[in-house]
Structure formats: C-alpha cells, structure tokens
Chain A
Amino acid sequence: MSAHKLTQLKMLEAESIHIMREVVGEFRNPVMLYSVGKDSSVMLHLARKAFYPAALPFPLLHVDTGYKFPEMYEFRDAYVKEIGAELIVRKNDDAIAKGMNPKEFGVARCCGALKTQGLLDALEEGGYDAAFGGARRDEERSRAKERVFSIRDEFGQWDPKNQRPELWNIYNGRIHEGESVRVFPLSNWTEMDIWMYIREENIPIVPLYYAKKRPMIERGAMLIPYYKHLEDQLHAGEEPTDVMCRFRTLGCMPCTGAVRSDATNIDEIVAEAAAAKRSERETRIIDHGANTMEDKKKEGYF
C-alpha cells in the first residue's frame, strides 16, 4: 500500500470525524446518544478522536428503558468514568411507573413509550438541537434512505418523502426554531466494518458480545436471555437452559435474542460476521411486527 492511500476503515473514520466536527461547528447544543452497544462504542471512540486532545464538546445521553442487561449498566458506568465523559441518563418515569412491559402492552407500545417517547422527552428537556445516533444504513431498508443530517420537525418526527438533499461532504445545519437534527456519523459503516474497526482499534465492548454458556429461553427460532428478576416476562411453559451463545446486537433483555456461537474473542467474531448469512437485526423483536422501522422512525425513533 503506497504512502498516500487510506484503507477503507480509515476513510470511514475520516468521514465520521468530519461529520462530528461539522455538527459542533453548526449547532448550539449537540448531544450524543449512547446506547452502550457496539455501534455506540465505535461512535464514542470516533468522537474522542475527533476532538482530541480536548474533552468531548457534548454530553452523552443514555435513554434507559430499565430493561437493559445488568452487564450493560456495569460497562456503561465504568467506561464513561474511564474516559471522563459526561453522561446523562433519562427514563420515561411515567410509563415505568405504570408498569410498561412488552409482554402485557406489546412490543410496539413498550418501545414507543420507553424508547421513542423517552428519547423525545429527554431531547426536549435538554434543549438539544442536534443528536448523534449510531444507526447505520445497512441495518434496515428504511435506514438505507436516511440522510447523515436528518431534520426532525418540532415533534421530533421524520418525513422520509421530503428529505434535504445532501451533496459532496457539505452539510446544511440550518434549522428553524423548534426543529432539530439527528446526525448519523456511522451511516456508511456496515456491521462488518464495525467489528473490524473494534478489532483494529481495540475498542472495549460489553462482554455479552462474546460467546459464553448462558441461561436462555428458546422461543420459536429465537434465543431469549433468562434473568431471574424478569421471570414475569416468560411465556407459559418456558424453561431456561444453558446455551453457548452471544449477542450480535444489544437492546432490552426481554426483546433481544442471542445467536448460538463459539466466538469468544474479537477475531472469532469478525470471522463469524464475515460468514453470517442472516442480518443482525434478525435477533431484534422490534423489527418483526406490522409496525415497521419506517413507521417507528416517522414517530421519532432512531
């Protein structure tokens, strides 16, 4: 490789850093959504690179549903402390007080209340005019249509048929009072890129991504994690069994499936991702209902 050529990962890195710096240049009060997953970990790592040697010029915001894995909370608190970032945690307390859960209320309603409404409330409360999210275009077909700077109206909603054209690497950050923008610096990354970059940069990730024997519930083709404090979310007749498995994506415990795997280190995960025949979103219950990702995005979901 000649001296002046960048690998594709380094090109993606340069593009993401460019996007983050434009946001800080164009907006008054940005925030970075941090979901503790692998994409968030990569996004946060890129942000540290973008503003080095200064501290991050924006806080991290975790919209917590209360249903995240204990390992995620543990990782979140330790890592944020280690890198000295400012973390804001917000929950939709109203819905949680009313006992919102996917089993009784349905997955769509639960996500709508705990994630979408929780996010919209947190963004409004913080007065943020720009929010970084780690979504990638390769994840899902409506996300393939998403802009890097995605304008949201004052209700936080997406109008996919009327998106602002995005040309060259020039981003138009002008918005009206009350509007905001969701920014996706990882738009052009694929799942494979994320894993290869985690390996290349040695980025810490939640241990749930690595294979281990875990107590699981087999529900149809899905492997759902078993946690004692969530026994009321089990369906009739379900019993936990130990399964060697790992998580390709991390969401809420009752709604995130695992995959059978023996990949216990990053090299094995990269190899597994390269050979995968099915997309990572397959293990997310939220993607499988009649209420599609496009519908949820229109309502304000990431």
Chain B
Amino acid sequence: MNVDWKLSQEIQLLRLVTVWSVDDGKSTLIGRLLVDTKGAFEDQLLSVTTKRDAASEAEIDLAMLTDGLSAEREQGITIDVAYRYFATPKRKFIMADCPGHEQYTRNMVTGASTANAAIILIDARNGVMAQTKRHTHILSLLQIPHLIVAINKMDLVDFDEQKFNDIRDELTAFCAKQGVKDLITVPMSALKGDMVTKRGERMSWYSGPTLLEVLESLEVLGRVDEKPFRFPVQLVNRPQTKELPDYRGFMGSIASGTVKVGDKVTALASGQSSTVKEIVTFDGSPDEAFSPQSVTLVLADEIDISRGDMLVRSDELPNSEREISANICWIGDEPLVARKKYVIKQTSNAIRAMVAAIEFKTDIHTLAHVEGDELAMNEIGRIRLKLQQPLFYDTYENNRLTGSFIVIDTFSNNTVGAGMIV
C-alpha cells in the first residue's frame, strides 16, 4: 500500500486561481507543477508532443496540454478558464487557469470567484506592469484571501536579489493601498525549476518557502466557521411517505458558521422563529454541522420557509435592504445601463432589480474612479440597485457567499454581471 494516499483521506482542498499575461512563463510553471506533482499523465503529455522527441520533457509544448479547445490551440491563446487538478501528500489543489488579457477579464473573475488563493506571475525583467496592477485590483475586489506573486524568470536577471527586492517593495506598497490582506512574494525560475517545487541552488539569499511550500501551508478556509450562521434554503424536503407523512426538512449548504440542535433560528423573509430539532444527513443525525457542509434541518415548529429563504441564528440577523450598493464586474456582451431591469441571484434567491445609478467606473489602467452612464463588458464599477423585495445579505467583505450575486439578463437569460455588496 502507498502510505501517502492512505493518509490522503485527511488532506484538504485549496482552490487556486492563476492569472497570466502573454509570455510570462505560464505554461512552463503549470507544466512543472503538474509534472512534479503528478497532475498530468504520460499519455496526456505524449499526446501533445507531436512528432518531436517524446523522451525530452523540455520539448513538450505545455501550452498544448493546457489549452483545451481547438480554437485556443489554433490561435495560440488561452480564451477560457481551464480547471486543473494536482495533489501532494498534504493537499489537493483545484487550479482555475485564467487568461490575463484585458478582453478576458470576465473569465478571470469567473475563475477567481471561488478561489482561496491567487497566483500572479511577473517577469522579473519587466517588474510591476500596468496589467499586474489591474490583476491585483480585481483579485482584491474579489477578496481572495491570499495573493501569491511569483517573480519569474529570475534566471534572466542573474538571480539578482536586489531586483527581487525592488519588485517586492513596489508590490507591497501597491497592495497595501488596494487592501490586499496577505501578499506573498516568491522569486522563481520555472524554466530551471528554482523555487517551484524545489529550492535549487542559485537563490541562497532567499530564505522563504518555495511556491509549493506556500501552497501547502496556506490557511484554507479562514475562520468561516466563526462567522454568523447562514443557511440559504435550496429546497424543502417533504417525502410524504407512509413512514414520513409529515416530515419537512430544509435542505441547503451552510454558507458560514455552525449550527447545533437546539439553536434558536429565524427564517428570512418571514421573520418567524423556531429551534433546530434535528440535523439530518444520509450518514446520521449529528448534534452540530458547519460550513461548507450540505445538510437538511428539521425545525421544532411549522414556520413559513421556501426556496430562496435563509435560516440564521435569531441573535445574528443579516442586513435587510431594498436598495444596495455593489461593486460590479460586467461580463455581458451588452453594456449595463442605468434604469435597466435585471434579475439578481444571491445564494438560491432570485430577485428583480433595477439599476438606480452607476456610482462610478474604475479606469482599469489608472484605477481612478471616473463617471460613466454605462458599463461595457470587462468594465468594473460600483452601482446602486433598487430591489423588488428586501434582500437579506452580509457585505462581501464579511461573507463571500451571502454578499455576492450574479446579474441575469431577463431577455437573453445570460449571466451578465458579478456583484459584490458593499
């Protein structure tokens, strides 16, 4: 038996987003991570070597492995988010591999929305560029808990410590202004392998962890279990069988916090309260459940709850408003315009909404706030929404799941915006 994998039932999951720019060494780094951690199989590598010497790893065109669509391989660009999986004996990683080009901002926002940590790659020769700042801004807007900046191609600047320090200091100053909470910088040569999964011998001046060591040690979920209990109800379970004629269970995923049998809870929107009688799962009825478990709750009293409602602890009520302000990344083909009506979906709750105002747009190059009367695709700004009924929410800063929503165009049915409530 392989001992590592026996233990692996205990390993945790880290969701990563990686944002790249053209020619910064993306393929080399992903390839190295996948190959060094067994995230890619031999036949997958062989299928992309195309007529070259299959035995030589350096000859493998890793972009052919990472770009999954024929259009991407034809055009030599990454268009859409690709999800990749790799694991070490300590952790499993889900990596949303995103294109960094401005016209694909929406794909980057998509990949980043679920991430616990982000990796940005910088070419050490170029230092901090405008697009690095754009990426950092978007990632901080999405409140990615950890931002890892890999300063790559150190081999092309003679592994110069001063060069690394200069870039790190400039980034640190910029990130402080952006409100980035945890910035980690790693000098690296993905091509030569230094500081990716192995330390190498050329940067002895650097005493910090390698990229993989960083990934293996980051805190995964933060303190989501210490936050107020939020339970968006997805479905009401009523088996109506001979054995369970009157059973009514509320099914959902715990967005944050914990819940115990006996807890006093309030249903929103009705405002009616009851206590938790039983926490039901296929594997038995525990006394306590916590985020992000999916469970079914049975309450002591018959109160009005349906899909889209939220159960919370009665002494920890969320905000309730009919007008909200939110940061918006616009991802629709047609621009967002003031006064237009949309549907927003927050957790499992869909509500009609009207754009009351565009408070500002963010100039993506200078990050300055500018006035505007519409938001085009890939633009970012802040809007005020009027809602048909009160929304129960936390700010995005406090809760990524009850503070986020998508905007749906009722004509096309498409998802056209990503909203983060402020």
Contact = CB atoms under 8 A, between A and B. Distances in A.
A145 B280 contact: no
A4 B65 CA distance: 37
A14 interface: yes
A22 B92 CA distance: 25
A267 interface: yes
A296 to B, nearest CB: 12
23 contacts: A3-B288, A5-B12, A6-B293, A11-B292, A14-B292, A14-B294, A17-B253, A21-B235, A21-B252, A49-B281, A51-B251, A141-B66, A145-B81, A160-B80, A163-B80, A165-B110, A167-B109, A168-B404, A188-B85, A192-B87, A271-B1, A279-B43, A294-B68
Contacts of B81: 145
A24 B235 contact: yes
Contacts of B296: 52
A267 B1 contact: yes
A25 B9 contact: no
Contacts of A49: 281-283
Contacts of A3: 288, 290
A137 B82 CA distance: 9
Q: A25, A169, A188: which has the most chain B beta carbons within 10 Å?
A: A169
A241 interface: no
A277 B10 CA distance: 23
Contact of A294 (B65, B69, B87): B69
A203 interface: no
B413 to A, nearest CB: 4
Contact of A18 (B65, B91, B294, B331): B294
A272 to B, nearest CB: 9
Interface in B63-78: 65-71
A299 interface: no
Q: Which of A160, A172, A271, A282 has the most CB of B within 10 A?
A: A172
Interface in A161-212: 161, 163-170, 172, 174-176, 187-188, 190, 192-193, 196, 200
A278 interface: yes
A262 interface: no
A192 B221 CA distance: 23
B339 interface: no
Given A7-B12, A145-B81, A164 B293 contact: no
B151 to A, nearest CB: 27
A9 interface: yes
A276 interface: yes
Given A5-B12, A160-B80, 17 more contacts: A11-B292, A13-B294, A14-B292, A25-B235, A49-B281, A53-B247, A145-B69, A160-B71, A165-B109, A166-B415, A167-B404, A168-B400, A169-B253, A174-B413, A192-B87, A196-B9, A274-B5
Contacts of A55: 239, 241
Nearest to B240: A54
B21 interface: no
Given A55-B239, A145-B82, A165 B106 contact: yes
Interface stretch (B169-177, B341-349, B361-369): B341-349
Interface in A102-136: none
A193 B8 CA distance: 10
Given A21-B234, A172-B413, A278 B348 contact: no
B253 A53 contact: no
Given A8-B13, A161-B69, A278-B41, A48 B404 contact: no
A137 B62 CA distance: 18
Nearest to B69: A160
Given A51-B237, A294-B69, A137 B41 contact: no
Given A49-B282, A174-B413, A278-B43, A161 B71 contact: yes
Interface string A34-50: 00000000000000111
B414 interface: yes
Contacts of A144: 68, 82-84
A292 B293 contact: no
Contacts, number: 190
Contacts of A138: 84-85
Contacts of B42: 277-278
A18 B253 CA distance: 6
A275 interface: yes
Most chain-B CB neighbours within 10 Å: which of A18, A22, A176, A271? A18
A4 B220 CA distance: 12
Q: Which of A5, A17, A161 gathers most chain B CB within 10 Å?
A: A17
B413 A176 contact: yes
Nearest to B346: A170
A28 B400 CA distance: 29
A279 B38 CA distance: 11
B11 A7 contact: yes
A61 interface: no
A12 interface: yes
Contact of A169 (B9, B83, B237, B401): B401
Given A6-B292, A21-B251, A165-B415, A172 B5 contact: no
B348 A22 contact: yes
Contact of A52 (B225, B282, B347): B282
A292 B247 CA distance: 49
A292 B9 CA distance: 34
A176 B296 CA distance: 31
A279 B406 contact: no
A18 B12 CA distance: 19
Contacts of B293: 6, 10, 14
B277 interface: no
Contact of B85 (A160, A190, A278): A190
Nearest to A165: B110
B247 to A, nearest CB: 7
